[in-house]
Chain A
Amino acid sequence: KAGVTQTPRYLIKTRGQQVTLSCSPISGHRSVSWYQQTPGQGLQFLFEYFSETQRNKGNFPGRFSGRQFSNSRSEMNVSTLELGDSALYLCASSFSGASQETQYFGPGTRLLVL
């Protein structure tokens, strides 16, 4: 079974631009979560989608948004990029997102904002 895939793997943008990241979950998984990982803050939860609906949201500004499609693929969008948005963005999937389910992570998208 193929793992979680994320595209692109690397991205360079400038301040003020916007970016869209893509995540394809493991086949059969309907819960997709997004995380931001930085050296200073560690791994932080952004939001979770299940059946095309955002179910949970972390403490990030409205510039961070996402969506999920009927095939469970998900996209994350960051508008008006800031230097502090430079990070590794990770997508994780699980069957239903239940409290004790293991999250399976993708390789991440490394975003650099100049």
Chain B
Amino acid sequence: LAKTTQPISMDSYEGQEVNITCSHNNIATNDYITWYQQFPSQGPRFIIQGYKTKVTNEVASLFIPADRKSSTLSLPRVSLSDTAVYYCLVGETGANNLFFGTGTRLTVIP
């Protein structure tokens, strides 16, 4: 499983767009990039998954450059309820393959 590097923490004001970047220099050809969100004392929640270019859903966008050595999770107009830890996973995300690193603790400020 490719190792990922994310900022430990980020602060943002309500209503702003937040971009969290994840570095994964050793990503393999078949690896997907997946982001999870976790609130305190709750299980991680799947946000978005992508392989290349751009993926968008109702919650977030995921930007992946051509070399795929990094990816950026974009959260539009964050609210206080978006305060959580965000994890970037690269590689297999099946039952015994998940590796959650330290994640990025996002704090949204009113």
B43 contacts A106, C-beta separation under 8 Å: yes
Interface SS majority for chain B:
loop
CA distance A107 to B94 in the complex (A): 19
A48 at the interface (CB under 8 A from B): yes
A33 contacts B95, C-beta separation under 8 Å: yes
For B41, list chain A residues within 8 Å (CB).
Answer: 88, 107-108, 110
B 69-110 to A, binary, CB cutoff 8 A, 1 in contact else 0 = 000000000000000000000001111111011100000000
CA distance A91 to B46 in the complex (A): 14
Interface SS majority for chain A:
strand
Interface residues on A, range: 20 to 34
Out of B43, B49, B97, B101, which one reaches A99, CB within 8 Å? B97
CA distance A4 to B100 in the complex (A): 19
* Chain B positions near chain A (C-beta within 8 angstroms): 32, 34, 41-46, 49, 92-98, 100-102
20 contacts between A and B (CB under 8 A): A42-B100, A43-B44, A43-B98, A43-B100, A45-B96, A48-B96, A50-B95, A58-B96, A90-B43, A92-B43, A92-B95, A94-B94, A99-B93, A99-B94, A100-B32, A100-B92, A102-B93, A103-B95, A104-B46, A105-B43
